[in-house]
Amino acid sequence: MAAMILSARGLTRHFGGLKAVDGVDFDLAQGEIHAIIGPNGAGKTTFVSLLSGRIPVQSGSITFNGQDITRLPAHARVARGIAYTFQITAIYARLPVYDNVALAVQRQGSRALRRDTMAALARVGLDDRADQEAGTLAYGHQRLLEIAMGLALKPRLLILDEPTQGLANSEIEGFKALVRSVVPDTTVLLIEHNMDVVMDLAQRITVLNFGRLLAQGTPADIRANGAVQAAYLGG
Ligand SMILES: Nc1ncnc2c1ncn2[C@@H]1O[C@H](COP(=O)(O)OP(=O)(O)OP(=O)(O)O)[C@@H](O)[C@H]1O
């Protein structure tokens, strides 16, 4: 198996009595496209929030690039190469599309701000909207803008929470091509509800259910897994 860029052991986060993430072991191979799926409330967003540092870990450990990052704050994880986008968009709505990405490009220390910013926008197909106020973009395009901001950081790992939500079918093809173009330099971990996207894009899939690991494997493994079928049909 390829080298692991990230490993989590016994990762746990409870909210009161609710076991949102409960003792999950997880390995992400360098350069793979990995999807996390599971019924609503399974703990997917909480899980990736623990990996990115948005939510502190209660117990367990996370290793990234061979180093323990369990207690590092989110910004320190970004500095180490973990970029993420979440369901709640984090764009600067009143600024032009261009400025949103330029801020990320600047943070990365670019010496060719305009070139690198336009290149990041072109990758997600928003270069022709560079001057538009970001808040006036359609929801799906705001998600693409966030991805451009994440990619501008030249991350080792890009975490995407429901990136295709709000995209038209015609735009989903472009999104899939984009993800394929960033690996293997960047490893991609995505939470995705669109099963066609998951099965087409992911090399490996992790299934969470009630905060626990239900199954892990290739798309073919997951399709054939009886427990996964039961969790979805039962949900
Ligand atoms: N800050 C919080 N405080 C209390 N409970 C929370 C908090 N965040 C999440 N939860 C609960 O933890 C459980 C897991 O939520 P989470 O959002 O991680 O699931 P999910 O798999 O991402 O769901 P969805 O597919 O609906 O987005 C849910 O029952 C949710 O209500």
Average pLDDT, the chain: 92
The rounded Å distance from CA 20 to ligand 1 centre is 6
Mind listing the pLDDT tens digit for each residue in 190-205? 999 999 999 999 999 9
pLDDT at 88 over 60: no
Mean local confidence (pLDDT), 129-139: 94
Mind listing the pLDDT tens digit for each residue in 32-58? 999 999 999 999 999 999 999 999 999
> Lowest-pLDDT range, 6-10, 139-143, 220-224?
139-143
pLDDT of residue 230: 87
Place of tokens 């949900």: 235
The rounded Å distance from CA 209 to ligand 1 centre is 12
CA nearest ligand 1 atom 24, residue: 40
Nearest-5° Cα angle at 119, 114 to 125: 125
Contact 220, 200 (CB under 8 A): no
pLDDT of residue 140: 85
pLDDT of residue 89: 59
Residue 229 neighbours by CB under 8 Å, 6+ apart: none
pLDDT of residue 50: 97
Contact 32, 201 (CB under 8 A): no
CA nearest ligand 1 atom 3, residue: 15
Q: Cα separation of 31 and 188, whole Å?
A: 7
H or E segment and range at residue 35: strand 33-37
Mean local confidence (pLDDT), 145-150: 90
pLDDT of residue 233: 63
The rounded Å distance from CA 19 to ligand 1 centre is 10
Residue 86's pLDDT band (cuts 50, 70, 90): low
Q: Among 18, 87, 159, 214, which residue has the most ligand 1 atoms within 8 Å of its CB, making it the best to mutate?
A: 18
- Beta-strand runs (E) in 59-164: 59-64, 67-68, 82-85, 157-161
pLDDT at 170 over 60: yes
pLDDT at 87 over 60: no
The rounded Å distance from CA 45 to ligand 1 centre is 7
With the CA atoms of 145, 147, 150 and 154 taken in that order, what torsion angle do they form, in degrees rounded to the nearest 10?
-110
CA nearest ligand 1 atom 29, residue: 41
If one compares 23 and 171, the residue with the highest pLDDT of the two is 23
Q: Among 37, 45, 193, which residue has the most ligand 1 atoms within 8 Å of its CB, making it the best to mutate?
A: 45
Interface confidence (ipTM) of the complex: 0.96
Mean local confidence (pLDDT), 123-147: 92
Q: Cα separation of 160 and 86, whole Å?
A: 6
Contact 211, 182 (CB under 8 A): no
Task: Name all residues whose Cβ lies below 6 A of ligand 1.
Answer: 15, 18, 20, 38, 40-46
Residues 76, 43, 229, 175, CA torsion sign: negative
Place of tokens 């997600």: 124
Rg of the chain over CA atoms, in angstroms?
17
If one compares 175 and 63, the residue with the highest pLDDT of the two is 63
What per-residue string of b and e applies to 54-64 under the rule 16 or more CB within 10 Å gives b?
bbebeebebbb
Mind listing the pLDDT tens digit for each residue in 148-165? 998 888 899 999 999 998
pLDDT of residue 1: 56
Mind listing the pLDDT tens digit for each residue in 91-114? 899 999 999 999 989 888 888 999
Q: Cα separation of 34 and 89, whole Å?
A: 22
pLDDT at 73 over 80: yes
Tell which atom from ligand 1 comes closest to the C-alpha of 46. 18
CA nearest ligand 1 atom 5, residue: 15
